[in-house]
Structure 1
Amino acid sequence: MALLMFKNLVVYRLSGLGGEPWGATLTEVEDGLSKARFVPCMATQPLSAGWVSPRHGEGGEGGTAPLVESIGGQWLMRLMVEQKVLPSAVVKRRVEELAKKSEQATGRKPGKRHAKELKEEAVLALLPQAFTKQASVNVWMDTKAQLLMIDASSAKRAEEAATMLVQSLEGLALRLVQTTLSPAAAMTAWLAGGEPPSAFSVDRECELKSADEMKSVVRYARHPLDTEEVRAHVLSGGKQPTRLALTWKGRVSFVLTDTLQIKKLSVDDGLFDAGSSRADEGFDADAAIATGELRQLIPDLVAALDGELATA
């Protein structure tokens, strides 16, 4: 198995503000994103977020490369987040130095309010010297299916990217896709002895967590899951799966979570081998293979969970 260009997916439903299908053009999306193009942090700026070229990254073509790429009708974007890194020990030491100077000048220790001001002063002084770290988030929009997929390892990072997109694109509304059958209930049934739908097979990794106050956790890795031990945890031990490794049609492997996040995506090497032009086209071929497979996997997964939950 080889990694896809997407490692994780959080899936949202697209709509217009009045609940109508969202129908912006590629040009309108490009114009919206261009108003929030990524700019690195200024000297005393702790955080910066903005859109970069999904093909070239931040500096492609002098920063003028398209911010949305259409590959086979699938729209791809990338959000860049840059953050200044200030170790807490460094900040603490600087605050203590400032507090000592203040006490020597006034004859009394700083109170709570003054201590807060000193911390803000310390951070402001240290920010220009701080290291920066960058993280990018791939965003994929399937306008025909009216779905948005965000490659984020946490719900918080996905929500940040979704919020940034809504702020950038006028008239766009997003909501997380929810299913009639919860992933936890479905995974419980599959591990307890039922078979997953025919397109899917259970692999050799899962996490089980109890719902009581103990919150005990059992994890299996590279371990067969069709055993009495696993079934006992689920049937009589009161534990529910929070993560389960699955493979779809023998081609794409992933881990499904109880919050309907898709993690650790990988694809059968043969799919890349089949793309003879991959070495020449690079980004386009990877994007076409990834979106081509995942466009089929996502509706199959939703169907395996009894369909999308209707909303008012």
Structure 2
Amino acid sequence: MFKNLVLFRIAPGDTHLELSVVEESLATCPFEPCGPTQELSIGWVPPRGEKHGALVEAVDGQWICRVMVETKAVPASAISRKLEERIESILQETGRKPGKKEVKELKDEIRLAMLPYAIPKLASCWVWIDSRAGALYIDASAQSRVDSVVTLLVELIPGLAVGQLATNTSPAAAMSSWLSTQEPPSSFSVDRECELKSPDESKSAVRYARHALDISEIQGHIKAGKVPTKLAMTWDDRVSFVLSDNLQVRKIAFLDTVFEGRDCDRGAFDSDVAIATGEMARLVPDLLGALRGEIAPAAP
């Protein structure tokens, strides 16, 4: 179900969020497709995919929402061609070349005129609220998408305050240690993918894919100053993922052993949510422990 999770801590005063309050708040911003000259539309859709369904689903005490984003954009090359035509037309009709301000106005006019014909792009992401643990998870890889979803939640839900999780040991420092010593933390194993980058201006990078990582070459890169930015790992022989240096959990995959106890009597949605949230709700605390614990969030 989840592919990438960005981890947030809900401010202590908000750990007892009411489900009804979240439902009412999200209902004020349902998703609507972009209008003819609208470039962006964001809103909530029923996570089960049912028309007119609930916007928040509670499964085993975990709340699942789904945000939909529609964008429309006119290719810059198309705008440039039209702009050149307009400038040439003005030059021939008046004998003068438009100034910078007029060119900008022409560009905006052309973009607005072409927007109704732009093909919209749809994307969605899961939002998981663990109210008992005071945690918020956004299933998105692009930071801009994460920021827009968090902003929307804070605007809609009264008094909600969140902050991205931080740990006493940075993921980069921990990954350097695990690769150098070949001693991953308890319950975790190192897999066959990693990326190392130089922190200096050169930004040189080395990537390994489907490759053993217990080699002196990698240790040499670390000694030379390169810092791990991504590392593939497996937790408890149940969940594989890639840890990033900004504490994002990417490329989440649930291994076959996870599905052995699957409840066949539950619907697909409830079963998927129960498995995904159940596994990740145990993985995340172990990961935070491996990073020497979470830094207590500042008061909102």
Global fold match (TM > 0.5) = yes
Measured in 2, the distance between the counterparts of 1:8 and 1:175 equals: 18
Give the equivalent residue in structure 2 for 1:14: 10
* Equivalent of 2:137 in 128, 144, 149: 149
Which runs of 5 or more structure 2 residues have no equivalent in the other structure? none
Measured in 1, the distance between the counterparts of 2:62 and 2:263 equals: 21
The answer to whether 1:292 aligns with 2:288 is no
TM-superposed deviation, 1:27: 1.2
Q: For 1:40-85, what per-residue CA distance to the aligned partner results, in whole angstroms no more than 9, with x for missing partners?
A: 00011111111111110xxx32xx2111100100000111110013
TM-superposed deviation, 1:148: 0.2
* Equivalent of 2:245 in 242, 248, 258: 258
* Equivalent of 1:55 in 40, 48, 71: 48
Trace 1:267-306 onto structure 2 (pairs within 5 A): 267-277=254-264, 281-306=267-292
Measured in 2, the distance between the counterparts of 1:297 and 1:103 equals: 65
Q: Tell me the TM-score normalised to structure 1 length.
A: 0.92
Measured in 2, the distance between the counterparts of 1:213 and 1:271 equals: 43
For the residue of structure 1 that corresponds to 2:271, the secondary structure is helix
The answer to whether 1:70 aligns with 2:58 is yes
For the residue of structure 2 that corresponds to 1:241, the secondary structure is strand
* Equivalent of 2:18 in 12, 25, 28: 25
* Equivalent of 1:44 in 28, 37, 41: 37
Measured in 2, the distance between the counterparts of 1:311 and 1:173 equals: 11
Q: For 1:95-124, what per-residue CA distance to the aligned partner results, in whole angstroms no more than 9, with x for missing partners?
A: 222222322333211110000000100011
Give the equivalent residue in structure 2 for 1:181: 169
Measured in 2, the distance between the counterparts of 1:21 and 1:162 equals: 15
Equivalent residues of 1:183, 1:259 under 8 A apart: yes
The answer to whether 1:81 aligns with 2:69 is yes
- Name the count of aligned residue pairs: 298
Measured in 2, the distance between the counterparts of 1:281 and 1:8 equals: 23
Give the equivalent residue in structure 2 for 1:121: 109
TM-superposed deviation, 1:212: 2.0
Equivalent residues of 2:263, 2:271 under 8 A apart: no
Measured in 1, the distance between the counterparts of 2:15 and 2:262 equals: 32
The answer to whether 1:243 aligns with 2:230 is yes
Equivalent residues of 2:15, 2:132 under 8 A apart: no
Measured in 1, the distance between the counterparts of 2:297 and 2:165 equals: 10
Equivalent residues of 1:10, 1:155 under 8 A apart: no
TM-superposed deviation, 1:276: 4.3
Q: Percent identity?
A: 51
Measured in 1, the distance between the counterparts of 2:199 and 2:179 equals: 17
Give the equivalent residue in structure 1 for 2:96: 108
Measured in 2, the distance between the counterparts of 1:142 and 1:241 equals: 30
Give the aligned residue type for 1:98: R
Give the aligned residue type for 2:228: P
Give the equivalent residue in structure 1 for 2:81: 93
TM-superposed deviation, 1:273: 4.1
Equivalent residues of 2:127, 2:139 under 8 A apart: yes
Equivalent residues of 1:46, 1:84 under 8 A apart: yes
For the residue of structure 2 that corresponds to 1:245, the secondary structure is strand
For the residue of structure 2 that corresponds to 1:85, the secondary structure is coil
CA RMSD after TM alignment: 1.3
State which drifts further: 154-163 or 132-141: 154-163
Which runs of 5 or more structure 1 residues have no equivalent in the other structure? none
Q: For 1:189-225, what per-residue CA distance to the aligned partner results, in whole angstroms no more than 9, with x for missing partners?
A: 0001151211100001000111222111010011111
Give the aligned residue type for 1:73: G
Equivalent residues of 1:22, 1:172 under 8 A apart: no
* Equivalent of 2:220 in 232, 243, 257: 232
Q: Tell me the TM-score normalised to structure 2 length.
A: 0.96
Give the aligned residue type for 1:175: G
For the residue of structure 1 that corresponds to 2:128, the secondary structure is strand
Equivalent residues of 1:207, 1:242 under 8 A apart: yes
Give the aligned residue type for 2:251: K
Give the aligned residue type for 2:234: T
Equivalent residues of 1:184, 1:242 under 8 A apart: yes
Equivalent residues of 1:32, 1:168 under 8 A apart: yes
Equivalent residues of 1:179, 1:305 under 8 A apart: yes
Give the equivalent residue in structure 2 for 1:216: 204
